[in-house]
Chain A
Amino acid sequence: MLLQTKYFGQVECSREEALCFPRGLFGFEEEKEFYLLPFEGSGGSLLCFQSAATPQLAFVAMDPFSLRHDYHPALPAEELRELGAEKIEELCFYTLCVMRQPVAESTVNLRCPVVINPRTRRALQVILESGVYEMHHRLSEFGNKGGEGPC
C-alpha cells in the first residue's frame, strides 16, 4: 500500500509493518495505527512515527538507550500484559522529540516512551513511574556518543 507521510512524501509500506496502538498516543487517542520509518542516513537512530490515518501527523523519535546508556524503564505487569510480553527485554523503546532550532535545544520525553512489542507489533505509550525521567530533556544534556539499544 502507498502511505502518505509528513516527511517522506508517498512511501510504499506493507500493512504487516503497521504498529497497532490500541489506546493511541496521549492526546491522540484516536490514532491507532502508526508506521515507524527511519530517517535515511541516521543509522536507524532517528526515526519517525507516521500516523496511518493522518498524513500530517508524525513524531520524530529516537532510541533512548543511545542517548542514555543507563536508561532503565520499568513497566508494571499490566502494561507488559497489554503488550503481550512477559519480560521487558522483549520490548523496544522509543522517545519522542520536540525539535528546536538550535538543535541542542530540542528535547526528548524520556518519561513517556513509546514501547513496542516487535513480535506482536502492538505498541503503547506509557508514563514511567520513576521520578528520574522528565518529559523534556534537552539533547544538549546528553553526550555525543551513541550506544546500541536492545533492538
Chain B
Amino acid sequence: MLILQRKTGESLLIGEDVEISVLAVEAGRVRLAIEAPKSVSILRSELKNAMAANWEAAEAPPLALLDILQRGGEQELKE
C-alpha cells in the first residue's frame, strides 16, 4: 500500500486519466475532487458495503427459518 501526504490544493494521479485533488480539510473531513472517465465507477466504500449487505439480506432465509417465518413465530426466532 502506498501512503502519501497531500496538502489542500494538491492532487495526485492514478493511471493515465484519474486525478484526485484535495479541496479542503476541515474538522476531520477531507473534501476531494475526482476527475475520471465516465467508465470508472466511483463509490464511497460504505455505499459498496451497504449494497453488499442488502444483497445478502435479499437472499432467501434457510428453509427451516422460512417455515418459522411463514408461521410467524417471533418467539421461536428469539429462542
- Show the binding face of A for B, using Cβ within 8 Å: 6-8, 25-28, 39-43, 45-46, 57-60, 96-101, 103, 106, 109, 111-112, 125, 127, 135-136, 139, 144
The prevalent SS among residues of B at the interface is helix
- Show the binding face of B for A, using Cβ within 8 Å: 46-47, 49-62, 64-66, 69-74, 77-79
Say whether A46 contacts B69, CB under 8 Å.
yes
Other than the known A39-B74, A59-B58, A98-B57, what 16 A-B pairs have Cβ atoms closer than 8 Å?
A6-B60, A27-B55, A41-B72, A46-B69, A46-B74, A60-B61, A96-B53, A98-B59, A103-B65, A103-B77, A106-B65, A106-B77, A111-B46, A125-B50, A135-B49, A136-B53
CA distance A39 to B71 in the complex (A): 8
The prevalent SS among residues of A at the interface is loop
CA distance A58 to B66 in the complex (A): 12
Say whether B74 contacts A28, CB under 8 Å.
no
Supposing A46-B69, A136-B53 touch, asked if A144 and B74 sit within 8 A by C-beta, the answer is no
CA distance A103 to B65 in the complex (A): 8
Contact for A135 among B50, B69, B73, CB less than 8 A: B50
Residue of A nearest to B60 (CB): A6
Say whether A60 contacts B74, CB under 8 Å.
no
Task: Give min CB distance, A97 to chain B, whole Å.
Answer: 6
CB-defined contacts of B56 to chain A, threshold 8 Å: 98
CB < 8 Å A-B pair total = 90
Supposing A100-B62, A101-B64, A144-B78 touch, asked if A26 and B69 sit within 8 A by C-beta, the answer is no
Say whether B57 contacts A42, CB under 8 Å.
no
> Most chain-A Cβ atoms within 10 A of its Cβ — which of B55, B57, B59?
B57
Say whether B57 contacts A59, CB under 8 Å.
yes
Say whether B73 contacts A103, CB under 8 Å.
no
Can you list 21 pairs linking A and B with CB atoms under 8 Å apart? A7-B70, A27-B50, A28-B54, A39-B74, A40-B71, A40-B72, A43-B74, A59-B58, A60-B61, A60-B69, A98-B56, A98-B57, A100-B61, A100-B62, A100-B65, A101-B62, A101-B64, A103-B78, A112-B50, A136-B53, A139-B78
